Amino acid sequence: METRNRNHILLRYTLVIVGVLLFSIAIVKKAADTCIIHADKWNAKAAQMLSVSLDVMPERGDILAQNGEVLATTMTYYGAIIDFTVPKFKAKEFNDSVQALSQMLAKYFPKKTAAAYEQSMRQAFKQGKRGYVLVSEVTGKDYKLMKTFPFLRNPTKFSGFYLNSARIIKREKPYGNMASRAIGRLNETFHGSSGLEKAFDSLLYGVPGKTIKKQIPSGIVDWVAVPPQRGLDVKTTIDIDIQDITEQALLGAIEETQPEFAVAVVMEVATGDIKAMSNLARLPNGEYLETVNNAVQGYEPGSVIKPLSMMIALDDGVVRPNDIINGHNGVFRYPPGRKVRPITDTHGRASMTALEAMKYSSNIGLSEIILKGYEHDPDRFVQRIYEVGFMEPFDLGIPGAARPVIRHLKNDVGDRVDLTRMSYGYTTQIPPIYTLALYNAIANDGKFVKPRLVKELLRNGQTDTVFNIRYIREQACKPETARELRKMLYAVVNDNDGTGRRARSTKVGIAGKTGTVRVLGASGYESRYRITFCGFFPYEKPQYSCIVLLGKPDLPGMPSAGHYCGGVLKKIAETLYSMGRLDMPRVLPTDSTLTFAPAVMKGNLSDAREVLQTLGVQGDVSDCFHMETDCDSMPDMIGMGARDALYLLEHAGLNVNIQGRGRVYEQSIPKGAVLQPGTTVILRLK
């Protein structure tokens, strides 16, 4: 029995040994096959693996304002993580510090309240979570700040606090919606899809780098073979202050008129630099955002284009400012005896001078002038528009920008009728930016400067490429023609019977022209209007030109372009004047009937009165108040400056998070709400 068991055991050991030997022989055979017989094949595969290269996305360049402030930049975010399972986690210190930590998180990352942060962290600690997301998106700068917070200031081995390696890359606009359509947007591949982002995409994007798999003693790693090259920065001509002034003035008109869309562009006369470009359109929910760049889309311009007709007629000697024009008592049938819709004026006159035709915005007056010079050769008028340079491409760097559409005319009855309509802004399609450039040329003694939105390209902070001032035409018209036109446009605004008189200012000399045109729909002209005002200021020495357009304002009857659009330009001009941005003396009027009291921004009443007393001027302090720091309900912060807002709320025991600059336009806690010390309030400024 004992011998049989021994033999059985020996048999089993023998089988195991034989099995191991056979398996070892198989391994040796396979190794020999791989390393010796088919070595070339496997070495080639290994080399192929190591030679695989991957693109490394470069850092996209910034889009900058004229002073170097960032309008669009690339931000990299990480997740802020706590691993509650690290072996040396300081549980007692965590429990002691979690309340203070929560308050700091709520102050600097106010997506959640302090109570919500505390509850969430305690629950994650109790569950022993390894990758608890404390804050989903933080920058490297945020991480350094968080390392100063209670408990998180401990080394990672004690706190479990770290940033995850997965990067979230976003394109950010620090000034929000400001000039958003001009700046543009990116698509999902981080390439430009509109605006300057698209026009300069190849330069902004940069050059991708390359990584390859590389063998090191500890394994295979991704090795950067070719480092990525950062994209160039694009410096624009946008002036942040003028852009902000323009947007605020335009929003004021929007609140009053509720149009489908609104446009305002400000250009520097001497250089053609676009200092501000605002495009706002109404969304289905009633809000207004920058959606379509209507400043570069074509529309029938209406009477705002009459200065182009007058420029050509004056330059060709067809008319002089004091020539008498037949007004036909407000109804002009052309050609006589034909059944065509008559040309009409709202206020009929038997006659008028050429200057008055512009001042009254007379369709009949402009038709008579243009017929006098071009009736028997209608296309000569169109050719002159081309000669002026009005049809040249501007190449602004805005994809999808339209060019004017003005068709050539034949010498027949139908086209002669169209010639009359063309003279006062119908049967054409003109982008607002072209109309503005024309007025800019008039203000600039006939020098037709090309609008410029991009000033230069920067590489690593140094100038790489400069976009110099360029002229469409050195002289679009004679200097004396430009001077006569300026006088006409000044009369439009400053004479009591001018159509633009509502844009008159007692502080800044403004010259310009109104335009009101019925909107052409699918079934003909609608009973809705598009209204425009284009002009320049100061009249004595033009520094800026500006166009304002409101599409289909929700107003009864025919809305006043001078009041609504001209009012926007007037507000821009007067604000720049009050800031000392205009090249003219700021003199308070001595006539008591013209004396004005400057409005004082909402804030500390005693401070405001002290400043006004020091300056020796009266002021409107109706928005100011005594700074009560023991308030128990949320005050109305709208319109207040950052300093006063911070003082008031911090003394009330609140944590204040200020976003943006300028005046408060939105507060996270509504007026009148009961205040609890330690609560975080977000104030958005612009």
Percent of the chain with pLDDT over 70: 85
- The pLDDT assigned to 223 comes to 67
For residues 595 and 20, give the distance between their C-alpha atoms in angstroms, rounded to a whole number: 109
- In angstroms, the CA 666 to CA 585 distance is 36
Q: State whether residue 389 is helix, strand or coil.
A: coil
Residue 617 confidence (pLDDT) above 50: no
> What is the mean predicted confidence (pLDDT) over 443-465?
96
| 88-130 pLDDT tens trace | 999 999 999 999 999 999 999 998 999 999 999 999 999 999 9
What percent of the chain lies above the pLDDT cut of 90? 65
The pLDDT of residue 654: 76
Point out the least confidently predicted range of 35-49, 81-95, 369-383, 514-528: 35-49
Q: Quick one: pLDDT band at residue 3, thresholds 50, 70, 90?
A: low
Answer yes or no: is pLDDT of 623 > 50: no
Closest CA to 369 of 413, 436, 426, 311: 311
Per CATH, domain 242-578 is 3.40.710.10: yes
Q: Which helix (H) or strand (E) holds 47?
A: helix 39-51
Block residue for tokens 């030109």: 545
Q: How far apart are CA 371 and CA 424, in angstroms?
A: 12
CB 508 within 8 Å of CB 462: no
pLDDT at 681 over 70: yes
The pLDDT tens digits of the residues spanning 311-325 come to: 999 999 999 999 999
- The model's pLDDT over 525-573, given as tens digits with 9 standing for 90+, comes to 788 899 999 999 999 999 999 999 999 999 998 899 999 999 999 999 9
- pLDDT higher than threshold 80 for residue 158: yes
Q: Please compute the mean of the pLDDT values over residues 159-164 and round it to a whole number.
A: 92
Q: What is the per-residue pLDDT across 288-301, written as a single tens digit (0 to 9) for each?
A: 998 889 999 999 99
Q: What is the mean pLDDT of residues 376-395?
A: 96
Per-residue H/E/C for 444-455: CCCCEECCECEE
Cβ-contact 154, 265 below 8 angstroms: no
pLDDT tens for 455-479 read 999 999 999 999 999 999 999 999 9
Of the listed ranges 495-509, 630-644, 661-675, the one predicted with least confidence? 630-644
Give the ranges where 375-412 is alpha helix by DSSP (H).
378-388
Sort strands 680-685 and 655-660 into parallel, antiparallel or unpaired. parallel
Task: Say whether pTM exceeds 0.85.
Answer: no
Q: What is the pLDDT of residue 622?
A: 44
Residue at token pair 């409101």: 550
Q: Which two tokens stand for residue 685?
A: 């400024």
pLDDT at position 92:
94
Q: Is 443 helix (H, G, I), strand (E, B) or coil?
A: helix
User: Do residues 529 and 558 make contact, with C-beta atoms less than 8 angstroms apart?
Assistant: yes
On average, the pLDDT of the chain sits at: 87
CA-closest candidate to residue 510, choices 575, 427, 591, 594: 575
